[in-house]
Amino acid sequence: MDKVERLISIIMILLRKELVSTKEFSQLFHVSKRTILRDMETLSLSNIPIYSVNGVKGGYGIMEEYKVDKRLLSSSDLENILTALGGLEQLLLTEEVERTIRKIEAMVSPLSLNRSIQLSFYDWEGRPEILETLKTCQESISKKRLISFGYTDKDGAVTNRMVEPYELHFSESSWYLKGFCTSRQEYRTFKLSRIDHITVDERAFHPRDDWSEQEHQATYVPELTTIKARISPSIKDQIIERYGRRSIEDPSSSSGSLLATINVPQNHTGFQFLAGFGTQLKVLEPAAYVEEFRNYLYQMMENYS
């Protein structure tokens, strides 16, 4: 942490606490007490109203009037921000994200933090590879550099692409890159797990004038079909998480099963989703969807015949 970052952190801490000792600051920033004294002199010369209190329980504080004027976020606000960042930290832990989290933690408390919400994510083995691709995309976006990579589409076809990268997007469990594909001469979205051999080009690009229009266009949503399905109580929670409680009704059947009304794509994506529930779900209607889903399941069975 350089001096400017340390000075900002000191101000943030003093805005939250009444008094902080030199020892506490030196332990927090891993610097000497003399360095902290010089930091306080620097802040005072910069017209930050810092005062000192002598004695065993003494330390440095900041004038209360300054706190009232400058502290725009409450402790609850900061903890909510940390909760959101905590989720991002699990998905994408970069040095910048980690540094931001540490700064906000310092604003809440310089020594400890008790969060009321904790987020946990499974650390997939392929995550480090995706993060490397993601970091390369971040670098190219910030430097406005072209990138090239091999891309495998959903049918397995591999093509070489040259792309102007504009934005990274996270949806459900996957990362995507939005950019202008010079090979196709149009804006495209690329799934990071389908990108291979990515390299950052030395050539820079100028953002296109119509990118702002593309940026605010609605993300593609597949056409959905409303289906009715009989489900086991064991997957009730998963249906509720995705579709809400109103999607389920109790048909008062002796089997103990439930009736769910949900919207799913009438394509392989929707079929894969439903097949994931195994024998815990049976599609009842409409008949055309049942027929297509049955054919999909037969094709799966043929792989093991």
The full set of domain ranges for the chain reads: 3-70, 75-108, 127-215, 224-302
Q: Which H or E run includes 37?
A: helix 33-45
- Beginning with the edge strand found earlier in the chain, give each strand of the sheet holding 186-191 in spatial order: 186-191, 174-181, 158-171, 145-152, 195-204
Instruction: Give the per-residue pLDDT at 67.
Output: 65
The CB density around residue 147, as the number of other CB atoms within 10 Å, is: 24
Residues 120-128: what's their mean pLDDT? Answer: 66
Please tell me whether residue 163 adopts helix, strand or coil conformation. Answer: strand
- Give the CATH number of domain 224-302: 3.30.70
| Top mean-pLDDT range of 42-56, 63-77, 80-94, 121-135 | 42-56
Instruction: Quickly name the fold that domain 3-70 has.
Output: Arc Repressor Mutant, subunit A (1.10.10)
Structure-model confidence comparison of residues 53 and 108, the more confident one: 53
C-alpha closest to that of 138 among 161, 168, 163 = 168
Architecture of domain 127-215: Roll (2.30)
DSSP 55: S
Nearest to 26 by CA among 60, 66, 63: 60
Confidence bin at 199 (pLDDT 50/70/90): very high
Per CATH, 3-70 and 127-215 having the same topology is answered: no
Predicted pLDDT at 96: 63
The pLDDT tens digits of the residues spanning 22-52 come to 999 998 888 999 999 999 988 888 778 889 9
Q: Evaluate if residue 75 carries a pLDDT over 90.
A: no
Q: Supply the pTM of this predicted model.
A: 0.60
Which of 160, 94, 168, 189 is CA-nearest to residue 132?
94
Q: Which of 56, 42, 99, 50 is nearest to 70 (CA)?
A: 50
pLDDT of residue 272: 93
Identify the H or E element spanning 182. Answer: none
Phi–psi pair at 218, nearest 5 degrees? -65, 140
- Tokens, residue 93: 């832990």
DSSP string, 196-261: EEEEEEEEE-PPPTTHHHHHTSPPP---EEEEEEEE-GGGHHHHHHHH-GGGEE----TT--EEEE
Per-residue pLDDT tens for 53-68? 988 888 999 887 766 5
Q: 209 phi and psi, to 5 degrees?
A: -65, -30
